[in-house]
Structure formats: structure tokens, C-alpha cells
Amino acid sequence: MSTSNNKSSVATLSGAASLEMLKQWVNETAQVTQPDRIVWCDGSEEENTRLIQQMLGTGELVQLNQEHYPNCYFHRSHPSDVARTEHLTFICSDHKDDVGPTNNWMSYADAKSRVWPLFSGAMRGRTMYVVPYLMGPANSPFSKVGVEITDSAYVVVNMRIMTRMGQVALEHMQQHGGGFVKGLHSLGDLSPDRRFIVHFPAEREIWSIGSGYGGNALLGKKCFALRIASTMGRDEGWLAEHMLILGIEDLRPGRKGEVTYIAAAFPSACGKTNLAMLVPSLGLRDQFRVFTVGDDICWMHIGSDGRLWAINPEAGFFGVAPGTSAKTNPNALATLQRNSIFTNVALTDDMQPWWEGLSPAPAHLTDWQGRSWTPDSKEKAAHPNSRFTAPARQCPCISPEFEAPLGVPISAIMFGGRRARIMPLVVEAQNWQHGVYLGATLSSETTAAAVGAVGVVRHDPMAMLPFCGYNMADYFSHWLGMPSRTSPDKLPQIFQVNWFRMDKEGRYLWPGFGENVRVLKWIVDRVRGRAEATQDSPIGKLPAEGAIDLSGLSLDADASNQLLHVDRTEWVDESERHRKFLEQFGSRTPQALWQEHAALRTRLGL
């Protein structure tokens, strides 16, 4: 197996040596996987067209209605391969403790004996594509090169949308050296029994076999930009996070259009893409405008001014289709209208993509599995985790700073989850350490983004539960250590939000989507030091009465009270859940988190 080079040697490789390493790795991999041919991808338009034509021929892609969806295609993945598979995702290291209790650990010996043999001859009869890609803007000192070897043309055309692919990556590598992250991917036989997504953080390497879907197969995304990058961040003093990045421009008189940048971590399918592209509801549209820097992943470094600066390493959006509509997210709809790929959505009779929430259901559809569907059908027409892959530059609200090499300075960090109960609409942390506690104790109901039960509350610290490449307790320490790397008052203020609180009848109390700007407004005013005084609560600072602008919103008084209600009894239970969660990490749990836990208990009167 090719896990022989250790990270220190890779990091110091020259450009020429990096390229040499790449050629050698491709040769070695071809010897094992035995492809019929090897294609080095350059990311060009011609190459993309050729791959699409080829997939139209094999049926891997289906052409959509070109009048309404120019250059858009549809793909059906295998019905047992429709979401990330967390139980088949592993981190490989010397000791189980390196990865901690929230990750699946694999030993090097097991990787060699259980996983590596699956690659043997896996590409026979297939083409091996070599896909160099850059995570981050060209010319950014924070961008990093990856190369994915894959036998899936679908992966190649998706990687072309999601990353800066081809020549630009090789040029970056030649100029900057430092090697590249190796990602080896094969569809294998697509059986979940022979599906593994294995990460080698120390070697900066990924093996993925048996899945062609999203985060399992597009290795630049969760595998590199979060699991491998989080370990790079730990080693190099920066943060790789499952966060959107947005800029909110203040259009109010006297505010001179000042833009505040916010990064927000919500678990999968909990609202990042939607918040990143928010269109303020009518009443607040003349006060604010939102720009999208990123919708899923955020790399943050301390800048020369001591602030946290964020780049989006991706170049596209791999967004949840269901629920996306002209009402909820018009910017996403505009983005996906051309040059996009749709996976596991339903099709109208005139070959337009359709999903639940897009529009009233047509009288007839073809469902995501190719079956005839009518509104009487019991099952959903689109898979709940059906997705669009769309170029970020097509987004009408893409930030002018999207390609900025140094990124944007972050003023606020939000943590949020899907909680039907307990968690108020918004809470502000007292300080960085308390904010890290809010992030570390984040819980959310599971969604269709990963295989498994949906709607089960689980701890998902910083929305990174499935994406942290090392021991989560050490990750908490890394976060807690940020103030020591800069002047602490330069760090963003931290907030926790919940758009998903429900009333007793199971209806959302908060309208969400464009109305979330009301919460952003409070946050902007808080970080700019001009929001009204807050009331302290056991769990953090709540907006003072009337501080959230609810003008023009038809919320009854009861709903607005419930939204910000902190129920002591419920929170006593919740703090017990926190304790159990933190105990899992044994002596590795940072003392600072126990301090915060004790302070919470004291404030609850315990």
C-alpha cells in the first residue's frame, strides 16, 4: 500500500518532486487496479463534453430539458448508495485513541488486509481518471492540492463543478510544492458489504471503494476538506469546519453598506445552503443583503490583523434538492438552472427535475428510482437526500470576495441544529470558551444526509461529528487554544441558533428561511456593539425583550415567548446529556469544558 511517505516529508516536497510523486502513485495504483486505460483530466470544456457524451451513451447520465435546463443532466445512483455511510467511514492511525470514541477506527493492518485487496483489479474494463484539483482559490496561500484517482466519470464531472480542477491544481502544486492529498476511489461493485471510506490523516491519503455517492466519492469534499484538513489545521494552527460563510451588507442609513461576515456550522441538511443564500423577507429587504462565500465548508486562519479569516475551499454547491423552491431559496434555484447535475431527483414528463417542495406535484412523474409516480403514490418522488451539483459562480448572490486569496474576516460564528424542543431561537455565548462549550454540546436530529434513522437527537459537536479526522476531545482543545494564538478580543463572537423548534402540535414555531435575517440582524448589531441589552439566562445571553425585529411578522405572542423560552427542568436534563457526552472522552476532555459545564449547572441552580 502506498501509505509509506510520512507527512513531514510530503509537506516539504518541491513542486517538481510533488509531480514526480504523483506520476509514481498513478503508476503504482494502475498496477494494482488494472484499468484498461488511464486518462489525466485537465478540467477543460472539451473533456467535460466528451465525458458527458460518453455517459449519455451508457445511461449514467440522462439529458434534461435543454430549453429550461441548458447543459443539465440527471443521474440515478444505485438505490443502496444514496447518502454518506457513516458506519463504513473510518480513520486509520496507530492507536484507537488518536481518533477517539466518536470516530470508527481502523488499524493499518486491517486497512491492508480488509480494504486494500478490494482495489485489486477493481478497474479492470474501466477507465482510470486522474483528477488533480485545488481546494481554495487560485493564488491563495491557504489553498491545497488534492488528486483523486477514480473509475467513475460521474465523479469527474462533479469534481469539475465542486473544485478548481485540472491544470490550475498542477500549476499550484508546481509553484508551491508541498505534495498533494491522495484520494483513491473506485466504485468497486457498489455493494454496501464491500464499501469502505478510509482516511489516513498522517499520510494525507484517502481510500474509498464501493460507493459513487456524494461525500463518499467526491473526495475533495468531506474526506479531504474536513477529515484530512481538520488534522492539517490541528498541526498548523487553523480550523477546517463544516460551515457556510456569508457576508451581510447593512443597507440602513448611516451604515455605509458595511459588510459583516458570519460563519455558521449546522449539521448535514440543517440549513447551511439556505442561510448562505438568504434573501431577506420583504420587510427587511431594504435593510440587509446577503452574499454567499460558501455553503458547506470553511477553512479559517488567523490573519496578520489577528482576526479569523475564512475561505471556502469549494467551487460549487452539492445542495439538498427537497425543500428548495422559489419561495425558500430563489438564489439556489437560479444557480442550478444551467450547467448542473441532478442526482436522485424525480423527472417530469418533459424531462425537468422535480422534488418535494419545488412546486405543487405534477399529475405524473418518474420517481428517483425510475418508476411511474402520481400524487397518490405512497413514496416520495425524489429521494429525501437528492441533490444538485451547481457551479458557485452562477449564484446570483455570490460574494465579490469569493475568489479573495485571503478570504473574508469573520465577526460571528453560529452553531445550530435541528431541535424540536429545548433549544431557543438564538443565544449568544458569554465569551470564546463558553462559545466552544455551546459548539461542543451541540445536538441535532439526524437527517437523510446519512444512511440511518432520521429524526433521532444525537450529539453533533460543531456539526463535525462525522467529519473530524482526529479525537474530538483534542479538537475541542484546538478550538479552546485559539485565543492563545491571537489577541482574544479579535476572535468572532459565538452564537447558537435553532430554526426548528416546534409547538405541541409539531408545527415549526419559527418561519425560517428569509425570516432568519431577523436573527442575523440581531447578531450583526451585537457584534457591532449596538444591539439592545441582553438578558442573561442559564445557557447564555438571550435577546432582550423586543430586540429581535419581529415587525410585519404574524407570530402570536405565545410563539415568540416559546421561541426564546429556556425551561429550567428541560435544561437540567440537557446538562446531564452534556455530562455523559463529555465523559466519553475520559481524561482527554479539556478542563475548560468541565468548567463551563459546572458553571451551567450552577446557573441552573444545581
Nearest approach, Cβ of residue 155 and ligand SPV (Å): 12
Tell me which of 241, 296, 401, 596 binds Mn ion, using CB under 5 A: 296
Q: Which is nearer to Mn ion, 295 or 401 (CB)?
A: 295
Q: Which strand (E) or helix (H) includes residue 572?
A: helix 568-583
Q: How far is the CB of 551 from ligand SPV (least distance, A)?
A: 34
Of all residues in the shown chain, the one whose CB is closest to ligand SPV is 215
Q: How many CA atoms lie within 13 A of 410 on its CB side?
A: 30
Written as nine digits, the cell of 249 is 451588507
Least distance from ligand SPV to the Cβ atom of residue 221, Å: 5
Residue 243 near residue 272, CB atoms below 8 Å: yes
> For the window 209-248, what string marks contact with Mn ion as x by the rule CB under 5 A?
----------------------------------------
Question: Closest distance between ligand GTP and the C-beta of residue 320, in Å?
Answer: 3
User: What string of DSSP letters covers 379-403?
Assistant: S-SS-TT-EEEEEGGG-TTB-TTTT
- Within 8 A by CB and 6+ apart from 120, the residues are 32, 33, 34
Which range binds Mn ion by CB under 5 A, 165-173, 289-297, 528-536, 567-575?
289-297
446 binding ligand SPV? (CB under 6 A): no
210 phi, psi to nearest 5 deg: 95, 5
Strand partners, 391: 316
Beta strands in 103-201 (DSSP E): 105-106, 127-135, 144-150, 164-165, 181-186, 196-200
CB 250, min distance to ligand GTP, A:
21
Separation between Cα atoms, residue 473 and residue 99, nearest integer Å: 9
DSSP 8-state symbol, 367: -
Taking CB under 6 A as the rule, does residue 521 contact ligand SPV? no
With CB under 5 to 8 Å by kind, the binding choice for 328 among ligand SPV, Mn ion, ligand GTP, none is: ligand GTP
Closest approach of ligand SPV to the CB of residue 318, in Å: 5
8 A C-beta contact, residue 223 and residue 231: no
Q: Does 221 bind ligand SPV (CB under 6 A)?
A: yes
**367 vs 596 by CB, closer to ligand GTP:** 367
Nearer Cβ to ligand GTP (130/297) = 297
Residue-wise burial string across 11-23, b where 16 or more C-beta atoms lie within 10 A, e elsewhere = eebebeebbebbe
60 binds Mn ion (CB under 5 A): no
**CA–CA distance, 99 with 348 (Å, rounded to integer):** 45
Give the amino acid at 599.
A
Selecting among 270, 298, 397, 468, the annotated active-site residue is: 270
Cα gap 22→469, rounded to integer Å: 24
Query: What does 516 interact with, of ligand SPV, ligand GTP, Mn ion, none (CB < 5 to 8 A by kind)?
Result: ligand GTP
Comparison of 93 and 385: residue with beta carbon closer to Mn ion: 385
Q: Which residues pair with 450 in a beta bridge?
A: 84
> Which residue, 475, 532, 485, 2, is CA-closest to 234?
475
Helix spans in 363-480 (H)? 432-440, 472-480
Rule CB under 6 A: is residue 172 a binding residue for ligand SPV? no
Which CB sits closer to ligand GTP, 327 or 364? 327
**Residue 92 CB, nearest distance to ligand GTP (Å)?**
25
- Which residue carries 435546463 as its cell? 69
Is 270 catalytic? The answer is yes
CB atoms within 10 A of CB 87: 11
Question: Hey, what amino acid is at 264?
Answer: A
Which cell numbers hold the place of 257?
Answer: 453598506
Nearer to ligand SPV, 19 or 463 (CB): 463
- Write down the residue that cell numbers 486494500 correspond to: 116
Q: Which is nearer to ligand GTP, 132 or 212 (CB)?
A: 212
Name the minimum Å distance from CB 230 to ligand GTP. Answer: 16
Candidates 100, 183, 215, 435: give the one binding ligand SPV (CB under 6 A). 215
Q: In whole angstroms, what is the distance from residue 260 CA to residue 6 CA?
A: 40
- What are the grid coordinates assigned to 18, written together? 510533488
Q: Which does 214 bind (CB under 5 to 8 A by kind): ligand GTP, ligand SPV, Mn ion, none?
A: ligand SPV
Of 297-336, binders to ligand SPV (CB under 6 A) are: 318
Scanning 36-44, 215-223, 231-239, 524-532 for contacts with ligand SPV by CB under 6 A, the matching segment is 215-223
Following DSSP, what letter does each residue of 520-552 receive, concatenated? HHHHHHHHTT-SPPEEEETTEEEEPTT-S--TT
Residues that bind ligand GTP (CB under 6 A): 266, 268-274, 295-296, 319-320, 322-323, 328, 449, 499, 508, 512-513, 516
Q: Using the rule CB under 6 A, is 208 a contact of ligand SPV?
A: no
Would you say 404 and 310 are in contact if contact means Cβ atoms under 8 Å apart? no
Nearer Cβ to ligand SPV, position 219 or 408? 219
214, 323, 424, 461: residue in contact with ligand SPV (rule CB under 6 A): 214
Is the CB of 87 or the CB of 124 nearer to ligand SPV?
Answer: 87
Residues that bind Mn ion (CB under 5 A): 268, 296
Q: Kindly list the residues in this chain that would bind ligand SPV in the complex (CB under 6 A).
A: 84, 214-215, 221-222, 268, 296, 318, 449
Instruction: Give catalytic residue positions.
Output: 270
